[in-house]
A and B are shown apart, each in its own frame.
Chain A
């Protein structure tokens, strides 16, 4: 790690001010990804603003009937929160499908959104990477790209966003609350992360110095019919090759509302509202699910080693929707059944 100074703040305004007064500063919450990137010399902040004493750990109801997740609540405390388990089991499942118990005890909700791609070229400072060093080229295109994106890519970057939690947040249509030098604002989850385009160095639409303070979940939690299906090289503690967050609202066998988001396939959690519209008003049958799946992968493009993801994603969508319709979650429902 390169040398840096550290300060600990106790108020959001102080955090924003301290960050603004140090050029090259970064916020640090749990630090599980940032410190790793600093050890690899990928991130080189000159100053860290320690956030862990900010009063942002609460998980509490919103006036709109939803739930507000404090930015500094840990992933573990969020997943195991009674209201999250009862009203948003899709989020519980997605969080617990990611990382390890140790990491979930450290990682914060805000940090989960801010984590960076695990593209091996992004991590390897000896290779060109447009995300790490704009203009240097993309080593993954034409290189080893088994874990890379198949949707929404650009000629500059085919990295994926690695989060599981964010796939559920996309499906649930959460809202991101931020504070920054120009005050507070909210960002719809779908507009938070970006596609790479010509600026792959930008993962999200935060303005410089802005800090995530919380995540608002809307009232609707799809707690009856949902599935978080994660497919990976080993059955625990691995990033998704493809993951699917599927949520349905059913009237008999008719789908009255639907949400569909994918992880491991794009530079951002990939929610497909056109595919959702193909589900709404239709019977919950394999044919309906297949049409939605075909829509999602319609424009998918493989880059060699990751060609398999297109068919994997198509099948995973069908399976996740079937699990959601049946009310039978992924095998990982061991999590939910555990005693609190």
Chain B
């Protein structure tokens, strides 16, 4: 069940069988997971297909859209352009680890309040990216937030709402610091 399909490579005459799957230990949203996966499994595929955390989305699968954004040790990355095996000692946070069904993360609430999505496909990546932006603490003005959120595309074009939502949470954070 945990073995990815290898039939195409193994089945071809004269082609050596691919190397066996290996054990990869990942810490995701504070929980340890031990996976039997092939080395070419991306972090994105590990999250979605093996840990069944499908909140993280596969958009372009080439690092161009940001839908797969997760936090690794608090820093945002594109999980589609990283191998799971490269993250054994890291703390991975996905959208499932930010809020819960009963208690929304402030960014989740702000996205609802500001109508910051239509189809919602890019939203988990937008929110993880925004949390990364807040952790970095470098973007405060609208211009800065736009620039620092440019790695996340929204094909519905909800950018105005996304900007307002992120700005609200950024502002609230900086007020907290001031108090």
B-contacting residues of A (Cβ < 8 Å)?
1-6, 8, 28, 30-32, 35-36, 38-39, 48, 50, 52, 76, 80, 99-103, 105-106, 236-237, 332, 334-335, 338-340
A5 interface neighbour in B9, B19, B82, B150, Cβ under 8 Å: B19
Contacts of B69 in A (CB 8 A): 102
A3 interface neighbour in B9, B86, B129, Cβ under 8 Å: B9
Shortest Cβ gap from B122 to chain A (Å): 13
A39 near B77: Cβ-Cβ < 8 Å: no
Contacts of B144 in A (CB 8 A): 334, 338
Complex Cα–Cα for A8 and B39 (A) = 11
B129 near A102: Cβ-Cβ < 8 Å: yes
The binding surface of chain A is classed by DSSP as mixed
Complex Cα–Cα for A4 and B141 (A) = 45
Complex Cα–Cα for A334 and B6 (A) = 48
- Closest residue of chain A to B24 (Cβ to Cβ) is A6
New A-B pairs, 19, CB < 8 Å, besides A4-B39, A31-B86, A50-B86: A28-B83, A31-B82, A31-B83, A32-B81, A35-B81, A101-B76, A101-B129, A101-B132, A101-B136, A101-B148, A102-B69, A102-B129, A102-B151, A105-B76, A106-B77, A236-B146, A334-B141, A335-B147, A339-B138
Are A6 and B78 CB-contacts (below 8 A) given A39-B61, A101-B133, A334-B144? no
Number of A-B contacts (CB under 8 A): 101
B75 near A105: Cβ-Cβ < 8 Å: yes
A236 near B83: Cβ-Cβ < 8 Å: no
B108 on the interface (CB 8 Å rule)? no
Select the residue from A28, A30, A99, A105 with max chain B CB neighbours within 10 A.
A105
Complex Cα–Cα for A4 and B22 (A) = 12
What 6 pairs across the A-B complex have the smallest Cβ distances? A100-B151, A3-B18, A236-B150, A6-B39, A338-B138, A237-B150
Q: How large is the interface on B (under 10, 10 to 19, 20 to 34, 35 or more residues)?
A: 35 or more
Contacts of A237 in B (CB 8 A): 150-151
Complex Cα–Cα for A179 and B26 (A) = 32
Complex Cα–Cα for A1 and B82 (A) = 13
B85 on the interface (CB 8 Å rule)? yes
Contacts of B137 in A (CB 8 A): 339-340
B147 near A105: Cβ-Cβ < 8 Å: no
Return 9 A-B CB contacts under 8 Å, by A number: A3-B38, A4-B19, A35-B83, A36-B62, A36-B63, A103-B63, A334-B144, A339-B140, A340-B138
Shortest Cβ gap from A132 to chain B (Å): 17
Contacts of A1 in B (CB 8 A): 40
Select the residue from A52, A80, A237, A340 with max chain B CB neighbours within 10 A.
A237
Shortest Cβ gap from A8 to chain B (Å): 8
